Amino acid sequence: MTPEQKIAELGLTLPEPAQPVGAYIPAVASSNLIFTSGQIPVREGTLIASGKVPTEVSADVAKTAAVQAVLNALAAVKQTIGELSRVTRVVRMNMFVNSAPGFSDQAKIANAASELLLAAFGDAGRHTRCALGAAELPLSAPVELDLIVEVQ
């Protein structure tokens, strides 16, 4: 079963890659690595939540946002390489959480995205990770993440 099929089996949809709104591209290949730009939780052109976690956005909604952001990153990877079955390893995920003062559960929010990577890629989805609190994120998004993946 392909990663795309595994994602669909979870009831999730890999979106069309978001178009950049600045002077950057969604992903770039360098040797056998793909680096994505930061992805926020946009679905069908709309930010699915905005604000600080947990005062304006609940932790559960932030986890849903993290899943959408990682789907967006995977869409950028797929656009770059054609199909996700070419991914041999998810190397790194950096997660930024728009955190209210005193919030320190960024790792719990990041786990939602990490778990999707494991479900889609199996052992190849095990990755290194940073989960960081941020004072502000673009468009007041609750999360932003980027991926580094290895491909064949």
Average pLDDT over every residue of 32-40: 97
3-state helix, strand, coil in the chain (%, to 5): 35, 30, 35
The pLDDT tens digits for 109-137 are 999 999 999 999 999 999 999 999 999 99
Question: Can you tell me the mean pLDDT for 67-78?
Answer: 98
Going by pLDDT thresholds of 50, 70 and 90, the confidence category of residue 149 is very high
Query: 6-44 burial, b if ≥16 CB within 10 A, otherwise e?
Result: bbeeeebebbebbeeeeeeebbeeeeeebbbbbbbbbee
How high is the pLDDT of residue 102? 97
Q: Which two tokens stand for residue 30?
A: 């360098």
Q: What is the pTM of this model?
A: 0.97
Segment 40-57 shows an average pLDDT of: 97
Q: How many CA atoms lie within 13 A of 29 on its CB side?
A: 14
Specify the CATH class of 3-151 in words. Answer: alpha beta
Any bridge partners for residue 89, and if so which? 150
Q: CA–CA distance from 20 to each of 6, 47, 57, 96, 107 (Å)?
A: 27, 14, 25, 19, 27
Of 4, 76, 8, the C-alpha closest to 39 is 76
Rounded CA-CA distance 142/105 in Å is: 13
10 Å Cβ neighbour count for 2?
11
- The rounded mean pLDDT for the chain is 97
Q: Which residue has the tokens 């999730």?
A: 12
